[in-house]
Amino acid sequence: MILLKTAPILVLLVLTVGCKYEPVAENKQTTANNTTSNSAGNSQNANTTAPLARIEIAKCDGECTCDEIVSPYNDTGVTFAGDYPDTNLPQCDLQSGFNQDCTTGRDTQANLLKVGAGDASFDYTKLDAQGQPLAADAEQWQCVLDNVTGLIWEVKSPEGSGLPQDSSFSYSWFDENLPDYSTADNGVCDDNCDTQSYLEKLNTKKLCGFDDWRLPNKIELQDLVHYGRSQPSIDADYFPNTKLGFYWTSNLDADDSNSAWSVGFSYGRVAGGVSSEPRMVRAVRGTPNLYAFSSSLSDTEITAVNRQQFASKQRCNEKISFTSPAERYLQDDQGNILDKQTGLIWKHCAAGLSGQDCEQGEAEFMDWQQAYQYVATLNDENPNSNWRLPSIKELQANNEFACEEPALNPFAFPNIPMGKVWSGTPHNKFEDSSYNYEYQNSIIFYSARTVKHFVHAVKSCAANTK
């Protein structure tokens, strides 16, 4: 069955919000925001009768446009289309009738200018032991510069090399400043097998001439994922010896103690894991992406009862810096939300919801074809709108690291359904499946295209720039 553009057939279901987490007993009173915190540092509502302050998203002057993206990031690497209910179409075959992942972004540019080289639109430069650039065909290199993000990544050495970067070594997650989330020396390596010790080794060694190596955040690490490849899902010409398991990030799980996030390089999944579990590490250096607005929250915006007006079960962790404050967003006269960080414009509400606070209607479940038909209908109603399904990287780029249920800013996206939402990214190996994103807690997985998920449309602000 080809993904032909036909009138949408939508199955309407009443949304039942399921909460993965049980309420936590109050045991520590904070002083400023009428909240309490549990042992994991999670912000809880302590006073439901407190006055509620509305946080308004600033308005664009008419149509939202942008001149530049604050934090550039890589495309998915997908250059083929997905069919329905199964199989993938060769290359980026437009017989599907819809604008898919492969028809949007850097991957669509046939003559894309690059500083270095790389598969699809990835643009990498090999670096030697002193951090100096090498030719693309160099046979030995220590690090890789990502010319899109400006980040520098370590390169793993072959298994059994005896070097600290041995690809077979694994580590428990450890940070001496976060004892509730940490497990020391529980990996499998030559000595002191935890993440903090490993970073100390790299910085003492001054890998590629640098002593500021760190764990990447989960958006940075997922940005390396090549969703057009699998096992490993990375450009192996620049990142050889990549294992198929999960690699630790710097991000704590906002609502689970002793847990941190990791990215898998078998198929590009993103999920949490207990700190004692041995996982791999790929260190990075450079200015962290997607943190430009992390210090802009007012006490009013942080206050739990204010956030819970529009996300009744949201929990935020006081140990984690906010990454998606209201100041990050603008709103146009139709209620669409511009993310100044990524240059994306999102529908204010998920499909099926409407109203100023998305309080009207019921969020709709759709299979992958119905999701495409939904955004096609939006574009039929306004031929210049260019709505589409977001890629799996675009969905995570909007993540609020500090919160779950949902892992989004509730003032920009009120009453968002807490469940899986479709991306436009097809799976390259399981050709009956596409990737989805969990708005409840930001997990990335994939499912059969016949399964029904929520839909949240997006468009690139560049499409509206006059």
Phi and psi at residue 198, in whole multiples of 5°? Answer: -65, -45
Q: What pLDDT is attached to residue 32?
A: 34
Residue range 92-135, pLDDT digits in tens: 876 667 889 999 999 998 889 999 999 999 999 999 999 999 99
User: Are residues 284 and 367 both part of a single domain?
Assistant: no
Provide mean pLDDT across the span 279-302.
83
The answer to whether residue 376 sits within a structural domain is: yes
User: Are residues 331 and 259 both part of a single domain?
Assistant: no
Q: What pLDDT is attached to residue 121?
A: 96
Count Cβ atoms below 10 Å from residue 350 Cβ, excluding itself: 23
Number of domain units in the chain: 2
Contact 79, 87 (CB under 8 A): no
The answer to whether residue 96 sits within a structural domain is: no
Report the distance separating Cα 185 and Cα 191, nearest Å.
Answer: 8
User: Are residues 339 and 239 both part of a single domain?
Assistant: no
Provide mean pLDDT across the span 37-56.
53
Q: What pLDDT is attached to residue 30?
A: 31
The answer to whether residue 230 sits within a structural domain is: yes
Question: Does an H or E element contain 460, and which?
Answer: strand 458-460
Confidence category of residue 44, pLDDT binned at 50, 70, 90: very low
User: Are residues 225 and 353 both part of a single domain?
Assistant: no
User: Are residues 188 and 244 both part of a single domain?
Assistant: yes
Provide mean pLDDT across the span 344-372.
97
Cα dihedral 160, 166, 172, 176 sign: positive
Specify the higher pLDDT residue, 313 or 49: 313
CATH number, position 372 = 3.10.100
Total count of residues recorded for the chain? 466
Provide mean pLDDT across the span 198-220.
97
Write the CA distances from 124 to 144, 423, 445, integer angstroms. 6, 26, 27
Provide mean pLDDT across the span 439-444.
96
Outline where 303-406 has alpha helix (H). 304-307, 368-381, 392-397
The answer to whether residue 2 sits within a structural domain is: no
Provide mean pLDDT across the span 157-162.
93
Cis peptide before 133, with omega less than 30 degrees from 0?
no
| 3-class state of residue 223 by DSSP | helix
Provide mean pLDDT across the span 452-466.
78
pLDDT surpasses 90 at 291: no
User: Are residues 249 and 322 both part of a single domain?
Assistant: no
Query: Which residue range(s) make up the domain with 276?
Result: 113-288
Report the distance separating Cα 344 and Cα 64, nearest Å.
Answer: 10
- Lowest-pLDDT choice from 8-22, 190-204, 285-299, 373-387: 8-22
The domain boundary, picked from 220, 255, 288, lies at 288
pLDDT surpasses 80 at 279: yes
User: Are residues 248 and 395 both part of a single domain?
Assistant: no
pLDDT surpasses 60 at 276: yes
Q: What pLDDT is attached to residue 3?
A: 64
Residue range 58-70, pLDDT digits in tens: 998 877 888 777 7
